[in-house]
Copies of this chain bind each other. A is one copy, B any other.
């Protein structure tokens, strides 16, 4: 059973305020403004639990450490340039991919990554 602690509220607050995906260390730093004694371990443990139950979403930029954000319901697609390896975040949402998962797999969200060449790399 989950309890509402000062630490947990500070973590959620940090994520709600920032408006962009945060790294665990950033969550810690923001959270410590509210709860000075907050520890990195606590951040990780809560991130893990929240991600498991869906109240937090893990966003992944290839080659970078994990980022976390509150669920937005949006599917912003990534684009990775094959030449310069730069990662871009396209603003326009990608459509749902129609897909029939194997039995007993429940799809809750999706992420699309496009590969190609960016405007700087012909």
> Beyond A62-B60, A82-B54, A113-B113, is A98–B101 a contact (Cβ under 8 Å)?
no
Contacts of A106 in B (CB 8 A): 116-117
Contact indicator A119/B105 (Cβ below 8 Å): yes
For this chain, the copies found in one complex come to 2
Q: Is A97 an interface residue (CB 8 A)?
A: yes
Q: A88–B53 Cα gap in the complex (Å)?
A: 19
- Say which size band chain A's interface belongs to: 35 or more
Contacts of A4 in B (CB 8 A): none
Contacts of A51 in B (CB 8 A): 82
Q: Is A8 an interface residue (CB 8 A)?
A: no
Contact indicator A66/B63 (Cβ below 8 Å): yes
